[in-house]
Amino acid sequence: MTKMRIAVLVSGGGTNLEALLNAQEAGQLPHGEIVLVCASSEGVYALERARNHGVPAVAVARKAMSQSAFETELNIKLAAYRVDVIVLAGFLSILSAEFVSRWQGRILNVHPSLIPAFCGKGMYGLHVHEAALQRGVKITGATVHLVNEIPDGGEILLQKAVEVLPSDTPETLQRRVMEQAEWVLLPQAAEMLCRNLAEENR
């Protein structure tokens, strides 16, 4: 069976990466294989997580270079590992429309809300959960989508709702959304995309 080669792009601790790696080791990614983890800065814990699972881990320091140079270096790394699919797992660097078009239909992103709610400029990480609590919503969740040129745009693949509790803080809500939605959906969506691409390549 053909396996799609996956690169996971990260910017921080890598909890979503850990969910993907655990899913792979549990046999839940039969059509995909994580062959590279690439961080947008040196020293983030996600790189250590990858190495703990025996996956090659590299950094392309975004702050040290222009957008063009950053994306050129990123593409060099992706080509070196013959990557088929990119999963953005807490990756905070913006990718250009040119980069996205080159990988059209092959980039997955997870967002910690039910798109179209609480997405767009400035809506990432804890900011999303702060906004949800300020709005007073009773239900939030997470979305995995294919990326297009519009941030948080593209085809929605999977969504999962999570209850907001009266006692929630942004931190407790973030944790529950990760545990109940992001860590469940991201491996499912990665397998779905890899399976579809593998079938197209047969």
Angstrom distance (rounded) from CA 56 to CA 163: 37
Cβ pair 162, 139 in contact under 8 A: yes
Who contacts 52 (Cβ-Cβ below 8 Å, separation ≥6)?
A: none
Place of tokens 């989508």: 145
Mark whether 111 is an active-site residue: yes
Cβ pair 90, 12 in contact under 8 A: yes
Instruction: Name the residue among 142, 137, 185 with its Cα closest to residue 165.
Output: 137
Structure tokens at 145: 């989508």
Helix (H) or strand (E) holding 32: strand 32-39
Q: Which of 111, 127, 129, 145 is catalytic?
A: 111
10 Å CB burial of residue 135 (0-12, 13-18, 19+) is exposed
Q: How many CB atoms lie within 10 A of CB 167?
A: 7
Which residues are known catalytic residues? 111
